[in-house]
Structure formats: structure tokens, C-alpha cells
């Protein structure tokens, strides 16, 4: 690509420059194929983070929707783990969180239990 070896070695040693547009651009470009591996989610990239939006089926009872959504989440995390292995980009489980939103007056009790491999996702 014509990038001087000095810059390549510096980035390999220290990472991308903090606050520059280079690092997020590389991340988004490198992971542009993620939607092909995770078809059931709308994915949004911001800098070096990923937000995925998943929805349960409409027309089911609330409790059935929760069970369905738990199944969808498990499938999503299996696909995400597979992609992370292919892309050689490990998932930072400490930063991985789930946000549950519903139009129902109350939330399911207990909340869906979601795991990504051996890691519980909260």
C-alpha cells in the first residue's frame, strides 16, 4: 500500500493513534463483512464498538416473546463468537452488555439468561 515500514512497525507496537480517525476507519473497514455472518441483527458501528439491535416476534404473548428473544440472543452470540474467531478479534466480555426494552408494563422475571461461550452476559 506504500505505507513506510516505520509507521507500520509503530502501529504494530503501540496501536493506532488515540483520537484520530484512522483507528475507527480501519475497524469499520475491517469488519464491514460482519453483517454476512450475523444476519439476524441490525449492526451499528461507532469507532471501535458494535451495537446490535435484535427484536422478538410480534403477535406472541409477552412471556413467549421473552423465550423467543432469549433464543435469538443465544443464536446471535454464537454467530458473534464464530465471527470473532474468523476475524481474530476477541470479544471483550467485560464490556459486553445487554439492554432489554419492552412496551409491557413489567419486565420478565427472571430476566433472560444469556451466555456467550462460557461467559454470562448481563
Q: Which of 70, 77, 68 is nearest to 50 (CA)?
A: 77
Confidence class of residue 82 from pLDDT cuts 50, 70 and 90? very high
What does the domain layout of the chain look like in residue ranges?
A: 56-122
Higher pLDDT among residues 1 and 53, named by residue: 53
* Coil/strand/helix, residue 52: strand
Q: How much is the mean pLDDT over the chain?
A: 81
Q: What's the pLDDT score for residue 60?
A: 84
pLDDT band at 85 (very low <50, low <70, confident <90, very high): very high
The C-alpha atoms of residue 122 and residue 73 are separated, in whole angstroms, by 12
Tell me the whole-structure pTM to 2 decimals: 0.72
Three-state DSSP class for residue 10: helix
Amino acid at each position: 500500500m506504500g505505507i513506510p515500514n516505520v509507521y507500520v512497525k509503530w502501529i504494530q507496537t503501540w496501536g493506532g493513534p488515540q483520537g484520530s480517525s484512522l483507528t475507527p476507519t480501519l475497524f469499520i473497514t475491517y469488519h464491514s463483512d460482519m453483517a454476512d455472518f450475523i444476519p439476524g441483527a441490525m449492526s451499528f458501528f461507532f469507532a471501535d464498538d458494535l451495537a446490535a439491535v435484535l427484536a422478538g416476534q410480534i403477535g406472541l404473548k409477552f412471556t413467549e416473546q421473552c423465550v423467543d428473544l432469549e433464543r435469538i440472543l443465544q443464536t446471535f452470540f454464537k454467530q458473534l463468537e464464530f465471527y470473532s474467531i474468523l476475524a481474530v478479534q476477541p470479544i471483550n466480555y467485560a464490556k459486553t452488555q445487554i439492554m432489554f426494552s419492552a412496551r409491557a408494563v413489567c419486565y420478565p422475571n427472571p430476566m433472560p439468561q444469556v451466555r456467550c461461550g462460557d461467559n454470562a452476559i448481563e
